[in-house]
Structure 1
Amino acid sequence: MSNEKKADFSDVSAKVDSTEQIVPKADFSDVSAKVDSTEQIVGEQSYTIGKGDTLSKIAKDHYGNANAWKQIFEANRDVIDDPDRVFPGQVIRLPPKDSLA
């Protein structure tokens, strides 16, 4: 063993500041959003065609105007090929009332 005196570090103190950059918090107070993708279907309903239903009967019952059958047909071209031939069990979309011309 050596009789050498060892260094005394008992009175040493240190402070380490982070090297991470301080980034101000994001301010989202002036951010707004608008969703256009659902705008067309708001208020839209589905309807299952029953026995004896016609597009004009459905239009009269739901919109109070039998002539609105044209808008129902246009909204359902992917389901209905001929507006005079609808079948019980078919599920169609009824456009929102405010979208009718």
Structure 2
Amino acid sequence: MGLRDFFKKGEQEPAKKSSDQVNKVPGQSEDHKFFTNKDEQQVTDPSANQDVYTVQSGDSLSKIAKKLYGDANAWNRIYEANKDTIGGNPDLIRPGQRFKIPRT
């Protein structure tokens, strides 16, 4: 049944998704969006002893460590510097998060 059929029968057009619903995981409440407001608004400035890296889709801490340090086993340095952002599980990082990268 197309949109024209709705108008012919005097029914309303089906509701369209709002932009707020686009980033939500189906079946989860507003509190459990993929990106939290904290992630979207977090700003991490580089300093003399650290750089900043924004997580991309497909990244893991070991991939980031390999890319930035040349050693995938150095992932723990990144994790220790960003525990407050990452939380208790170093495998759960999300695209858009910004990490402090300690310089060697």
2:81 and 2:49 mapped to 1: Cα distance?
13
Which runs of structure 2 are paired with 1:69-84 in the superposition (5 Å)? 69-81=75-87, 82-84=89-91
Counterpart residue identity of residue 45, structure 1: D
Tell me which of 89, 92, 97 is aligned to 2:96: 89
Residue ranges of structure 1 left out of the alignment (5+ in a row): 1-40
Give the TM-score normalised by the residue count of structure 2. Answer: 0.53
- Answer 1 or 2: which has greater helix percent: 2
Query: SS of 1:47's equivalent?
Result: strand
Query: SS of 2:52's equivalent?
Result: strand
Q: Deviations over 1:11-63 (max 9, x none)?
A: xxxxxxxxxxxxxxxxxxxxxxxxxxxxxx42411110000000000000000
Counterpart residue identity of residue 66, structure 1: A
1:43 and 1:74 mapped to 2: Cα distance?
15
Give the TM-score normalised by the residue count of structure 1. Answer: 0.54
Which runs of structure 2 are paired with 1:23-34 in the superposition (5 Å)? none
Tell me which of 43, 46, 52 is aligned to 1:46: 52
Larger Rg: 1
Identity rate of aligned residues, in percent? 49
Aligned alpha-carbon RMSD (Å): 0.9
How many correspondences in the alignment? 57
Counterpart residue identity of residue 79, structure 1: T
Give runs of ≥4 in structure 1 deviating > 6 Å: none
